[in-house]
Amino acid sequence: MIRAGVGLSTERDAVRAALEAGRRALSALDGAPPSWCVAFANSDHAAALPALLETLTQVTGTPYLAGCSGAGVIAEGREVERGPALGVLAVASDRLQATPFLFHDEGDGGFAAGLRLGQRLQASRGRNDLVLVWPDPLHVRPDRLLQGMGTHLEQVPVAGGAAAGHPMEAPTFQFSGTEIGTASVAGLRLGGALRHAVAVSQGCRPLGEPLRVTRAHQNLVFEVEDRPVLEVLRDRLPESLGEDPAAAAESLFVALLPEAGEVAVRPGEYLVRNILEADSDTGVLAISEHVEEGQYLLFALREPAAARHELGRVLASAVAERRARDIRFGLYFNCRARGRALYGTPGVDAAILSRALPGLPILGFFGNAEIAPLRGTNHLFTYTGVLVLVGEEPGDA
């Protein structure tokens, strides 16, 4: 049987934070010793991280610990984006195995780290296996990491989030046990009598139907549907954004469909990418992804109401998953551009999660990107919330 608990501490002292968060997580295990733990902390604890991890392994009684830094921590139905925060998930189960890991970048943007990670976990080919990853996006690019991992773990679902610091350009940290890294990727391989579901909640809504790219080069788009791309974009802009160029620049994105040649968008199944530049003189739109002619794309708008609605839609399915799969705990990887930055007030997503999944221990953090499987392929997501729900296969306890 899986027993799980989550603890949160906002203590500034790292040792006291580890004691408080660890004990709060353990209190839900009914005296069972934890098999493994996950911890997320913000940058306030970076300087004292060795003491924090040593204390946490002592109080939980397990060396099997993995985690990273975030721009905020989500635990106990709260989101802490300002000030010190430490969240801990403790799990006790003799049928669910966890293998923590930490791999360092080798100077190639994370491909070699992913390759070595895949080699280390290549026995993870069970139909229920799940790999959780928390890369440092300043050095280990999530897309390169997934490419490397896919060499050996092509069919294994991967979920997680890119570690973050505060401010945005601050170094991030990752850890496995008491080993600490930067420019690295940490995580867990989960296997055994495992059931899981991964759901993606988009933060941007499409503006109209998909458009066929008719002229492009690498990440530069010139025409869609045989019309200048910026002309089509202006036609699809809401009136309010047309009158406010600054707001339009912060809220507009491009979304790509996940499969080549796909012409219709399914709810929530698209990959949002940044618009790097819209040059009115040349009519060129530069985005943060290579685009092929013949591919379909969407324009997308980031707005609070759409994000709330989408999370509600996704959680309706998650509630059904919880009933069907006896879900015991969850992990939530939220884009740092959500939270207070999107809604203007803290705690919105955490409150929605708590209402939909009352009593379920959920731990998460605010990161720089998200990772999740979609239609059997692992993808890099942005501006999303990725919810991982974990339960246990039926069997003898």
Domain with CATH 2.40.30 in the chain: 204-302
| Three-state DSSP class for residue 202 | strand
pLDDT at 126 over 90: no
Q: Which fold has domain 204-302?
A: Elongation Factor Tu (Ef-tu); domain 3 (2.40.30)
Please give, one letter per residue, the 3-state secondary structure of 362-386.
EEEEEECCEEEEECCEEEEECCEEE
Half-sphere exposure of 105 (CA within 13 A, CB side): 21
d(CA 205, CA 310): 9
State pLDDT tens for residues 330-385: 999 999 999 999 999 999 999 999 999 999 999 999 999 999 999 999 999 999 99
Sorted by sequence, the CB contacts under 8 Å of residue 282 that are 6+ apart come out as none
| Three-state DSSP class for residue 247 | helix
pLDDT at 227 over 70: yes
Encoding tokens for residue 350?
Answer: 């955490």
pLDDT at 389: 95
State pLDDT tens for residues 284-314: 999 999 999 999 999 999 999 999 999 999 9
pLDDT at 397: 43
Query: Tokens 């060499």 belong to which residue?
Result: 151
State pLDDT tens for residues 66-84: 999 999 999 999 999 999 9
Bridge partners (DSSP) of residue 308 are none
pTM (predicted TM-score): 0.95
